[in-house]
């Protein structure tokens, strides 16, 4: 019970900190004129296209990894099946 109370207090205090941070964020102004060249360049990056590219890259790599794992699984299953038949016949 004591652990639950400590965890509850921790989570509530963390939520309160996030809430206070969210309230304070709009007060911070972003000066576009005084920003560095890097910040201006960073603001012009097409994040939607980058996000789509990363999603496609992740999907393709996961498919390739799945195929490799399935090939390994098939080879191991075949070797186990051959090994099992030898023991049964003897």
SS3 at position 32:
coil
What pLDDT score does 33 carry?
59
What pLDDT score does 47 carry?
82
pLDDT of the chain along its 90 residues, tens only? Answer: 888 999 999 999 999 999 888 887 766 565 555 667 777 777 788 888 888 999 999 999 999 999 999 999 999 999 998 887 766 555
Can you tell me the distance from the alpha carbon of 75 to that of 84, in angstroms, rounded to the nearest whole number?
14
Tokens 């195929």 correspond to what residue? Answer: 67
Can you tell me the distance from the alpha carbon of 4 to that of 27, in angstroms, rounded to the nearest whole number?
36
What pLDDT score does 46 carry?
84
What pLDDT score does 20 carry?
87
């Amino acid at each position: 019970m004591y652990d639950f109370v400590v965890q509850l207090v921790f989570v509530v205090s963390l939520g309160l900190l996030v809430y206070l941070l969210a309230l304070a964020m709009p007060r911070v102004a972003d000066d576009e004129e005084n920003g560095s060249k890097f910040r201006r360049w960073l603001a012009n990056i097409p994040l939607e296209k980058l996000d789509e590219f990363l999603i496609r890259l992740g999907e393709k790599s996961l498919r390739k990894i799945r195929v490799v794992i399935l090939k390994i699984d098939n080879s191991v299953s075949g070797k186990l099946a051959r090994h099992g038949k030898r023991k049964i016949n003897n």
